[in-house]
Amino acid sequence: MEIMEWRKCYLDVILVPLGVLINIAYHAWLCHKVRTQPLTTAIGTYTEAQRLWVPAIVKDIDKRNIVAVQTLRNTIMGSTMMATTSILLCAGLTAVISSTYGVTKAPFNPPFTGSLHVDNVSESSEHPDKHPGGSQVDSDAGVCLSSSGEGLLFEHGRQ
């Protein structure tokens, strides 16, 4: 009987669908909870507070018009800040994961997933900073300057 060797890809095959399934189950439970017992969730409590706040502000609009505008502005600013933070965290996580696992060929080439790997760039034995074809390499910046002056990014250690 042959024993299969455990590989890291098996862990991905198990954990990725499991993570998606847990996320779907949580959101189904949350949707049910908001519909049946709304005051036990933050979403239901916030909705109830809004429902009570709007008539109170409209009743005395002459005195509270500035408060209403500032409250709406602060709500929009808060949600915009949270969305921006979420996008930045996702982009940073993508960059860290792609550089950790050495992803060089992706199905698409987003600009935020790390350095661009340039094939056909090899070090010359005579001049470590000069490549065949007249290109210069700035090893600190990770840029290869061709003889025409165009800059090409390359991955450190994979020249």
Q: For residue range 52-109, what is the model confidence (pLDDT) as tens digits?
A: 999 988 888 888 889 999 999 999 999 999 999 999 999 999 888 888 776 555 555 5
Classified as helix, coil or strand, 140 is coil
Question: Whose structure tokens read 């933070």?
Answer: 85
Structure tokens at 126: 């005579």
Which tens digit of pLDDT belongs to each residue from 135-151? 454 444 444 444 444 44
Q: List, in sequence order, every beta strand (DSSP E) within 7-156.
A: 130-131, 135-138, 143-145, 151-153
Report DSSP letters for 103-135, one per residue.
----SS--TTSSPPP-TT----SS-TTEETTTE
